[in-house]
Amino acid sequence: MEKKLILRGAIAGGLAGLLAFLFARIFAETQIQQAIDYESGRDAAVAALDKAAGLPVEPAGPELFSRTVQANLGIGVGVIAFGLAMGAIFAVAYTVCLGRVGRIRPRQLSLLVAGAGLLGFYLVPFVKYPANPPAIGNEDTIRERSALYLTMVLASILFLWLAVWIGKRLAVRYGNWAATMLAGFGFIVVIGLLMALLPSLGQLASNKQQFGNHGTETPLPLLGPDGKIVYPGFPADVLFSFRLYSVAAQLILWTTLGLVFAPLAEKVLAPLTAGDTADTPVPEQQQPLAIS
């Protein structure tokens, strides 16, 4: 049964990844191109300032893949592969939760697990380290940024699981509603403390050294030797739109995953449910008491 559920999870995840890619290709790609255009213009302005100051200017390296290949094949394969992986992980989590989270129907459980996946894998880490387009991010901080984001993802999933585990035990004493509120409040407090302890991307050592102490890696206006702005900072509307479409793409992915997997899982589990029902003994009808 487990293998069948994981296979169906991968199928649902692949479809979810395809839909998320189509959405991102239509809406987010425009923002990505604007970010790349900004980065190219800023690099040219930096090169002009360095040349005017007599500093050596490194020539731009060759482009390994064209922008068309990156925007279609590259991102498409990446998002679909991500959907396949998340679908398999989703099916494993679904199998673990099956029969251990109370009397929840297979379809309802699929939506609940999908909601938890969206929250744990993306939305909670997004609050601390939101998605950024290509032009944002110092090359020297790639490893640090990846490690911090992975820490947020793992902590989010772990704390979310602990909140569910604690909530189940509190429900025995306080009821479902109060237990859910207490567990949810505890999750917010713990994850909030972690976010406060982890550094902001702009406060990483390399960024401090190059750009000063700032909250984010979002490029500020480029200043010339006289202190005047020679190139503007990163457009706020492009950054907002990119992040909005990133959240929407993840919402599409996890919603599709939950909705598509639900009937597939129900078909796998239907024979087991029917067998359990058939094997359940039916109490014999009580005979009326004889009155003498």
Whole-number pLDDT of residue 170: 93
pLDDT above 70 as % of the chain: 89
- Give dist(CA 2, CA 109) in Å, integer: 16
For tokens 């750009």, what's the residue? 211
Token pair for residue 237? 């509307």
- Give dist(CA 11, CA 91) in Å, integer: 10
- Give dist(CA 19, CA 259) in Å, integer: 13
Which long-range contacts link 163-168 to residues 24+ away (Cβ below 8 Å)? Answer: 163/187, 164/101, 164/116, 168/101, 168/102
Q: pLDDT category, 273, cuts 50, 70, 90?
A: low
**Tens-place pLDDT, residues 7-49:** 999 999 999 999 999 999 999 999 999 999 999 899 899 888 8
Residue 231's DSSP bridge partners are: 222
C-alpha distances (whole Å) from 194 to each of 180, 181, 243 are 21, 20, 22
Instruction: Tell me the residue length of the chain.
Output: 292
**Tens-place pLDDT, residues 90-146:** 999 999 988 777 678 888 999 999 999 999 999 999 999 999 998 788 888 999 999
Q: Which of 81, 80, 84, 76 is nearest to 11 (CA)?
A: 84
**Tens-place pLDDT, residues 208-262:** 888 888 888 899 899 988 889 999 999 999 999 999 999 999 999 999 999 999 9
Mean pLDDT of the chain: 87
Three-class secondary structure of residue 209 per DSSP: helix
Q: Which of 273, 280, 277 is nearest to 1 (CA)?
A: 273
Whole-number pLDDT of residue 62: 66
Query: If you ran DSSP here, which 8-state letter would residue 141 be given?
Result: G
- Give dist(CA 49, CA 60) in Å, integer: 16
Q: pLDDT category, 205, cuts 50, 70, 90?
A: confident
Query: If you ran DSSP here, which 8-state letter would residue 198 be given?
Result: S
C-alpha distances (whole Å) from 136 to each of 31, 32, 158 are 12, 11, 29
Whole-number pLDDT of residue 283: 45
Whole-number pLDDT of residue 206: 87
User: Residue 231 belongs to what H/E stretch?
Assistant: strand 229-231
- Give dist(CA 156, CA 89) in Å, integer: 16
Whole-number pLDDT of residue 72: 73
Phi, psi (degrees; rounded to nearest 5) at 137: 130, 125
Three-class secondary structure of residue 167 per DSSP: helix
Single-letter residue type at 243:
R
**Tens-place pLDDT, residues 138-192:** 888 999 999 999 999 999 999 999 999 999 899 989 998 999 999 999 999 999 9
The whole model's pTM is what?
0.86
Q: What residue spans define the domains of the chain?
A: 1-136+236-271, 140-217
- Give dist(CA 56, CA 52) in Å, integer: 10
Whole-number pLDDT of residue 156: 97
Residue 6 has pLDDT above 70, yes or no: yes
- Give dist(CA 187, CA 181) in Å, integer: 10
Q: Which of 125, 120, 115 is nearest to 161 (CA)?
A: 120
Residue 288 has pLDDT above 50, yes or no: no
Whole-number pLDDT of residue 64: 64
Q: Which of 26, 24, 51 is nearest to 250 (CA)?
A: 24
pLDDT above 90 as % of the chain: 58
Residue 60 has pLDDT above 70, yes or no: no
